Structure 1
Amino acid sequence: MLLNKSIKHAGLAILLIAGVVTSAFAILPIEKLDSFKGAQAYLVQTKALPMVDIEISIDAGDRYDPVVKSGLATVAGKLMNYGARSEKGALSEAQIADEIADLGANLGVSVSGERAVMRIRTLSRKDLRDRAVQLASAMLSAPTYDPKILVREKQRMTTALLEAETKPESVLDRRFRKSVYGNYPLANSPSVQSIANISATDLQQFHKQFYRGDRMIVSIVGDVSRAEAAEIVQGLLQRVPQSGPSIAKLPVFERSPVEPLSQREVTIPFDTQQAHIAMGMTAVTRNNPDYFPLLVGNYILGGGGFVSRLMSEVREKRGLAYSVFSYFSPGKDAGIFQAGVQTKSDQAALALDVMSSTIAQFITDGPSQSELDAAKANLINGYPLRIDNNRKLLDNVSSIAWNDLPLDTMEVWTKEVEAVSLDQLKAAFQKYLAMDRMKIVVLGAKK
């Protein structure tokens, strides 16, 4: 039995490696499937591998956590892997793990600020595919939330939180998000006390309230027909309710206000040889019309690695850091801009000054035409690598569906990049970024 499983898994590994790069670059169309149980569903058919990748996005992210129980959404998602009730009876943590291993599949749940995500990767052969879907359906619709397992996982999370408090990157990230997001729920982070406050009843209530068809999107990429994809959707959601209790609206995500530097900069003492610096502010959502000018502009500013302005000014000219970066992180309802650098503790003030002046100048003057042309060429020529396997295709399909983007977004992506002009780029940066609204967090600097 063990030998047969090893042979099966070895064969699957060979298939996965062989399919990393598709035989030819082509934009595969996204098909919209019929809604089921109130859920949207999308399909990209590809025959490159006898595999199917499935994602269920649920509007059940961390932003719905009560402040005193921050971490609730994450725990609710995490424990779905550790016990469920199927139509044939209860499934223990060990039984779920054994079934996944026997199928040679991947199946798990993760939670981010905006959404919870269940991912399934399995062979497309009907018998194996159906078993994976049945297992996922049980986990999605009827997790058991065993109190004993909850106690164990809370202990693990508490240990991880205490360890994170000793890591400068974690401390900086938590404080930076609090500064930028302000009163918006994404500003909150789990604490030892908030995790301790979570009960099995809380998990059951959260699941009942949020895990329902009208808050779900199913994305499918792989070797299945439209009819087979419809069967997958129905199999996954057959036991999920279509709707549920009313949910309070989230607060409006507000733009970072104009503030004097004394109110925008936070300095955190920390015993470390490296100072960690983060700078940023609220920014655009993914469906904003200025997304592409900001994408191209940020490649030039700090997203293009060694060819970026920030890298040139901070590292190449002054040797203040090994790495410096900037990026936009746009979501469905909220987005931020962030720049960051690590430097020697006694060089923090200089590094922050150079990073700030470089960003300020870019906002005011924008890039040169040659920088714009080079950035667009790099992004366009590198685009095939963004969609060269099923998982990357699924990432794109999921993002398109979640952010309410046109279904031809992948097809027109390079055209949108090519169409960005200097005037559009400068106007977008001046519209959405301003130095007097930037939040700054400096950790571990020495005076």
Structure 2
Amino acid sequence: AFAGWPNQAIAFPTYPKPVRQTNKREKYINMPAQQVNMYLGHLGVTRTNPDYYALQVLDTILGGGAGFTARIPQRLRDDLGLAYTTFASITMTAGLDPGRFISFIGTSPENMKLAIEGLVNEIRRIIEEPVTVEELRDAKDYLTGSFVFAFESSAQISRFLVHAEIYGLGFDYVQKYPDYIHAITVKDVSRAAKLYLDSENYTLVVVGPVAGNGNVSTQESAK
């Protein structure tokens, strides 16, 4: 069906290479709502980064996956009751170009500053303190156990084949993936956290009943 398609070289546009920010940026967008939605993050990594699998394990420990209680959900949702949904990930958007590290929480306006502080504290903690052996084991079990569900449909298999070609994974990646994950150590996760996460220099975007200075807008939150 595709035999007649021309096989031509494509000249891709060039653009400046993105660099990690070296300061903190905050943007508050006032919008009538019952809660504030907050995204906190910075530049991430490419899919071909050699630390990708260590970062996948880190993601699972810090931000979680379905059915897995990670640090941020456990602390901000379960312990403090600040939100129903909260997460963090650096590998989710990794591609040919660097994606982004992103963390999210939606909470009530009066808990906004506590929620921001909670996100930053958990990011800082995984940078400064090694994860536990139990956290590492549980993350590996989750990743290797859930991996098979990425191949349930024809669309998922097709997507994998495209990714295998684009990122040079090899079509035996399905067999190799568990070994990549099981090879990750506590030191690998700590090293990756120190290299690729930043609890000081990030961009914070808050949308909801807030003023431009980051204070809660009483008029909007009362609506």
**Which TM class, normalised by the smaller chain length?**
0.7 to 0.9
- Superposed displacement of residue 241, structure 1: 5.5
Residue 294 (1) aligns with residue 55 (2): yes
Residue 421 (1) aligns with residue 185 (2): yes
Aligned equivalent of 2:6: 240
For residues 312-348 of structure 1, give each alpha carbon's deviation from its aligned partner in whole angstroms, at most 9, with x where no partner exists.
1101111110110011210112211100010012211
Residue 332 (1) aligns with residue 96 (2): yes
Equivalent position to 2:169, from 405, 408, 413? 405
Aligned equivalent of 1:273: 34
Q: Structure 1: which amino acid aligns with 2:48?
A: N
Q: Which has the larger radius of gyration?
A: 1
For residues 343-387 of structure 1, give each alpha carbon's deviation from its aligned partner in whole angstroms, at most 9, with x where no partner exists.
012211111111111111112113211011011011112221112
Residue 250 (1) aligns with residue 15 (2): yes
Query: Are 2:20 and 2:42, in contact at CA under 8 Å, matched by a contact in 1?
Result: yes
3-state SS of paired residue (2:101): strand
| 1:32-431 pair list within 5 angstroms | 133=1, 233-234=2-3, 238-240=4-6, 242-243=8-9, 246-252=11-17, 254-259=18-23, 261=24, 264-305=25-66, 306-328=68-90, 329-431=93-195
Q: 1:299 to 1:247 in 2, by over 3 A?
A: closer
Any unmatched runs of 5+ in structure 2? 211-215, 218-223
1:310 & 1:247 partners in 2: Cα distance? 39
More helix by share: 1
Q: Structure 2: which amino acid aligns with 1:376?
A: K
Q: 1:321 to 1:401 in 2, by over 3 A?
A: same
For residues 395-435 of structure 1, give each alpha carbon's deviation from its aligned partner in whole angstroms, at most 9, with x where no partner exists.
11111212233343222111101111000011011101111
1:348 & 1:250 partners in 2: Cα distance? 36
Query: Are 1:255 and 1:283, in contact at CA under 8 Å, matched by a contact in 2?
Result: no
Q: 1:424 to 1:276 in 2, by over 3 A?
A: same
More strand by share: 1
Query: Are 2:88 and 2:101, in contact at CA under 8 Å, matched by a contact in 1?
Result: yes
TM-score by length of 2: 0.87
Find runs of 4+ consecutive structure 1 residues off by over 6 angstroms.
none
Q: 1:297 to 1:243 in 2, by over 3 A?
A: closer
Query: Are 2:21 and 2:42, in contact at CA under 8 Å, matched by a contact in 1?
Result: no
**Higher relative contact order structure (alpha carbons within 8 Å, sequence separation ≥ 6):** 2
Aligned residues: 208
Aligned equivalent of 1:442: 206
Equivalent position to 1:433, from 191, 197, 203? 197
For residues 244-279 of structure 1, give each alpha carbon's deviation from its aligned partner in whole angstroms, at most 9, with x where no partner exists.
6x5542321x222211x3xx1111111111101001
Query: Are 1:366 and 1:422, in contact at CA under 8 Å, matched by a contact in 2?
Result: yes
